[in-house]
Amino acid sequence: MSPLKTENPGEVPPVDNGSAKECITTGLKGLETIAPLVRSVEATPEPITTTVQGTIPSWINGNFLRNGPGKFEFGNTHYNHWFDGMAMLHQFKIENGQVTYRSRFLDSDAYKKNSERDRIMMSEFGTLAMPDPCKNFFQRFLSRFEMIEPTDNASVSFVKYKGDYYVSTETNFMHKVNPESLETMEKVDWSKFIAVNGATAHPHYDPDGTAYNMGNSYGSKGALYNIIRVPPEKTDTKDTLQGAKVLCSIVPANKSHPSYYHSFAMSENYVVFIEQPIKMDLLKIVTCKLRGKALSEGIYWDPKQETIFHLVNKHTGEVSPAKYHTKAISTFHQINAFEEDGFLMLDMCCSDDGQAINNYLIQNLRASGDALDEVYNTLCRTFPRRFVLPLHVTNETPTGENLNTRPSSTASCVKVSNDKVFCQHEDLHGDDLHEYGGLEFPQINYGRSNTRPYRYFYGCGFRHLVGDSLLKMDLKDKTLKVWYQKGFYPSEPVFVPSPDAVEEDDGVILSVVLTPSQDKGTFLLVLDGKTFEELGKAYVPVNMAYGFHGTFNASA
């Protein structure tokens, strides 16, 4: 196991809210190997029929799209990290209670170059491509001094801009794709439209289709965090990201060591950027090829640093002068954010350390026996938490007292100086969530509940290195509904509302379930969003690798 490096690992800040750090070793033994979930698989470009058991509601009509790594080797070269595998796109086409399946590899430059030479030609997050052996010694030596070319291996998610679907990762490249055929249509470079060096794979959307995202820019004076806004309408048929603007820029606490972020939060009037203690050493990243190290070697966890919430007004681009701090935590996915009674509620999946990224080395995911147990038992669990941020902090706001006047929340927020509020979270779960290993890959009824008060969210439980259960949390009383079958590994749950929905949870949950102990044991699972009981399954006679994120594209 190769965890992220920790600066001054002996200096761990005290836990401010009195709760135990949720990284306690479980001592779990005998975990089932999940190596088949991270193996290379074949594409199925032509649609194939599935075998449906139970009933898939006839009102579900559209494409359930999934993205994730599907190829981990070229020739005798192999990737080191789960994030590095070549993007594979999946489509479950659901019509009138029947399902077809197809998949394609993203036709990225990385995939094409690697395939042509049958070796890894482009570096990825955790894998440094070795110099081309066809070059002479002098050429190979000089190549060490070149900057790493950003990958266009967009293996994280499906996103939508101006009505078109793209697949994305965290570099400056996306690919426009056809959601019906999964064919790669166009490579899009963010930096051609706006001064950023990348964007997250998790944009947020206003009801009118306006998209918000975040991307860093790097200059001679260091890094900036940039909030991006993309208008909802096209100006012509070839329009992609035209009209995108930087809404505002935020200066990092340390310009040469900015924070890594995978996503951000958004309420009705604010974008919330979480500056966390997962740091990027820009000098190490820039020189990684010279040093013969992967890009991931330049990322580290610094528990001495507090986590800072930055609020940006979506309408004016103004950054709030008040900064909201909490203890050192890490977050990859937010659940929801909404404003109420002068406060902003920020709900996130949080961990008490930030060393998870390098636990997902391929060697760890393919481990078995004691080695696998050791990897799992050293992971810090991720749990849903709420932070309450007071929106109207002035010089007259009293210091040293809890500003959270909401009796429904145990979270606290204390002004400690004119521009600093220290926040302590409220747990959005009961003790029973510990039994399921925490919660990640959170999802809500986005169209109805995003930026608004809400009651339900969904996610995967992690009693393994990947999701092994599906969870529904009721925030009214913090109770769980659970779908779990031993030996089955469901993907991120996606909520699809029913056309006549009245309640927030009227609809279904879609999730792809993999079974490493069975050959070609994959199925699409459909759960009732309200009862969390099985409605139907669609068995797919192919093997799939465990993926990351997806979306449902309803038929017109």
Q: 3-class secondary structure for 486-544?
A: CCCEECCCEEEECCCCCCCCCEEEEEEEECCCCCCCEEEEEEECCCCCEEEEEEECCCC
Both tokens assigned to 230: 């993309």
How many Cα atoms sit within 13 Å of 103 on the Cβ side? Answer: 23
Mean per-residue pLDDT, 243-258:
95
Q: How confident is the model at residue 29 (pLDDT cuts 50, 70, 90)?
A: confident
Look at 20-24, 186-190, 317-321, 449-453 and tell me which has the smallest mean pLDDT: 20-24
Q: How confident is the model at residue 28 (pLDDT cuts 50, 70, 90)?
A: confident
Q: What are phi and psi of 436, to 5 degrees?
A: -105, 10
Would the pLDDT of 285 be above 60?
yes
CB-based contact 124:106 (threshold 8 Å): no
State the SS3 of 405-422: CCCCCCCEEEEEECCEEE
Q: Token pair 């609020």 is at which residue?
A: 311
C-alpha distances (whole Å) from 116 to each of 81, 111, 177, 476, 505 are 22, 9, 22, 55, 48
Q: How confident is the model at residue 138 (pLDDT cuts 50, 70, 90)?
A: very low
What pLDDT is stored for residue 319 in this prediction? 96
Q: How confident is the model at residue 14 (pLDDT cuts 50, 70, 90)?
A: very low
The CA-based angle 185-187-189, given to 5 degrees, is 150
CB-based contact 494:67 (threshold 8 Å): no
CB-based contact 87:106 (threshold 8 Å): yes
**For the chain, what is the mean pLDDT?**
91
CB-based contact 115:74 (threshold 8 Å): yes
Would the pLDDT of 23 be above 70?
no
Q: What are phi and psi of 405, to 5 degrees?
A: -95, 5
DSSP state of 438: B
CB-based contact 549:157 (threshold 8 Å): yes
Separation of alpha carbons 273 and 263, rounded Å? 8
What pLDDT is stored for residue 221 in this prediction? 75
Q: Token pair 């009862």 is at which residue?
A: 531
Would the pLDDT of 520 be above 80?
yes
Q: How confident is the model at residue 27 (pLDDT cuts 50, 70, 90)?
A: low
Both tokens assigned to 325: 């701090």
What pLDDT is stored for residue 406 in this prediction? 86
Both tokens assigned to 267: 């309420």
Look at 6-15, 112-121, 188-197, 463-472 and tell me which has the smallest mean pLDDT: 6-15
Exposed / middle / buried, residue 245 (Cβ in 10 Å: 0-12, 13-18, 19+): middle
Nearest C-alpha neighbor of 393 from the set 418, 425, 422, 412 = 418
Separation of alpha carbons 29 and 44, rounded Å? 37
Would the pLDDT of 254 be above 80?
yes
Q: How confident is the model at residue 89 (pLDDT cuts 50, 70, 90)?
A: very high
Look at 333-342, 351-360, 415-424 and tell me which has the smallest mean pLDDT: 351-360
> Is the dihedral angle over the CA atoms 71, 74, 79, 83 positive or is it negative?
negative
Separation of alpha carbons 324 and 322, rounded Å? 7
Separation of alpha carbons 414 and 404, rounded Å? 8
What pLDDT is stored for residue 236 in this prediction? 87
Give per-residue pLDDT as tens, 190-212: 999 999 999 999 999 999 999 99
CB-based contact 398:412 (threshold 8 Å): no
State the SS3 of 153-195: CCCCEEEEECCEEEEECCCCEEEEECCCCCCEEEEEEHHHCCC
Would the pLDDT of 19 be above 50?
no
How large is the C-alpha radius of gyration of the chain?
A: 23
Separation of alpha carbons 59 and 7, rounded Å? 53
Alpha-carbon torsion, ordered 542, 495, 156, 177, to 10 deg: 80
Would the pLDDT of 475 be above 50?
yes
What pLDDT is stored for residue 26 in this prediction? 59
What pLDDT is stored for residue 182 in this prediction? 98
